[in-house]
Amino acid sequence: MTLSDIENGIVLAVDKPYGWSSFQVVNKIKWQIKRQLGIKKFKIGHAGTLDPLATGLLLVCVGKATKSIEQLQQGEKVYSGTIVLGATTPCYDMEQAVDRYYPAQHIDKQLLESTRQQFLGEIQQVPPMFSAIKVEGSRAYQYARDGEPVEIAPKSVMMYEFDILDTRNLGNADVERTVQTIELPAEKSPELYRNPQGHVPEGLPQVDFRIRCGKGTYIRSIARDFGLAMGSGAFLSSLRRERVGDYSVDDALTISSGKDMDL
């Protein structure tokens, strides 16, 4: 990267690693540019947050390219990942431990297919409480961490494709769970996003998927609603963003701790 890249603006496609926040990625690139080019002040930001437990494409805009952040966020996105059926977590992924089990033995491929079709086109979804969406001037996750109830209004999102790629443990006769609420620890950790607490309970059904969707779609909410629509529960166990608009993770830069990126 050169000074002219900063002056003219550049969009960096980065493959965000598991466990990193989007802010950490931006901060690492920021300090590397400062050190290598001797620049003290410049604009930098990302076009769409990825949760710490998600991996894949994060677009980092530098210099004048920050003016295109809103436009980039409008682009279609492609995600792949895994949904676990028969249980829920408070944040809809594995940042927290399972808080409830549900029956899932009735779920078969026919039910998966008919339910999948309900999630195509324009749908309504409620963003997760553990998300960066703003509610009354604060981030929703701040209320969630403090245990404060807050109402998040549903919003319309577009689902262009929702494909089921593979399944595991459907109709597993060894898993006999009725609806059961789990007693979770009372303490609340402000470092929730740094200390994942969840895991995939043995034997629960799992569904591998690929989704092509529009702006503002929370895949964690899709997972939660998918389970509810089948008379069960569900949470997201893995997520990878493969594409944003014309940008693909196949062409993205890699990043790791303690090493400079090849900017």
* Residue 193 pLDDT grade (very low, low, confident, very high; cuts 50, 70, 90): very low
Inter-residue contact 102 to 204 (CB < 8 Å): no
For residue 136, is it left (φ>0), alpha (ψ between -120 and 50) or beta?
left
Inter-residue contact 135 to 189 (CB < 8 Å): no
Amino acid, res. 54: A
Q: What is the pLDDT of residue 145?
A: 57
The catalytic site residues sit at 51
For 53-71, write each residue's pLDDT tens digit.
Answer: 999 999 999 999 999 999 9
Residue 32 has pLDDT above 60, yes or no: yes
Average pLDDT over residues 83-109: 92
Average pLDDT over residues 103-115: 95
Residue 192 has pLDDT above 50, yes or no: no
